[in-house]
Amino acid sequence: MSSDTMTTEFCLRLSRAWATLSRRLDSALGSHHGISFSDYQLLLQLHRAPGGRLRRVDLADKLGLTASGVTRSLLPLEKIGLVTRQSDPRDARVGYALITPTGSELVINATVVVDNVSRNALGGPGRDQIEAASSLMAQLAGVSQ
């Protein structure tokens, strides 16, 4: 198998693995907490942010979404009280997404579900394998670790 073919095959397998894992996470989070894996990722980024808030453009960058995609994702989470909007008093064009205490509690509880699904999906790879794969994924995503 040529190097190009191996690279393409890797990308195809990666895509399939992501689709499978994403479905498992969506199902588990939906049945236990009523949110999708995309919702979880958004809430987790806010939960980890200083003060529980991020500019919407920064949140979009962290999630690999467009600013309008983040706005669409935030709306249902706002309606159920997991996030709120905050404007910058110095610049009306800047908008922040802020996680609520309810959202923080949910993401902490949902992390247990994500950890369990992730552990079950990965089986038992060693720490070195996980670190190597994680570095490769970060490289593919254009993210520094």
Instruction: Point out the least confidently predicted range of 4-8, 13-17, 55-59.
Output: 4-8
Q: Which CATH number fits domain 3-117: 1.10.10.10, 3.20.20.100, 3.30.200.20, 3.40.190.10?
A: 1.10.10.10
pTM of the shown model = 0.86
Kindly provide the b/e burial profile for residues 85-111, where b requires at least 16 CB atoms within 10 angstroms of the residue's own CB.
Answer: eeeeeeeeeebbbbbbeebeebbeebe
**Predicted local confidence at residue 77, as pLDDT:** 97
Ordered by start, the domain boundaries in the chain are: 3-117
Q: What is the pLDDT of residues 18-77, one digit of tens each?
A: 999 999 999 999 999 999 999 999 999 999 999 999 999 999 999 999 988 999 999 999
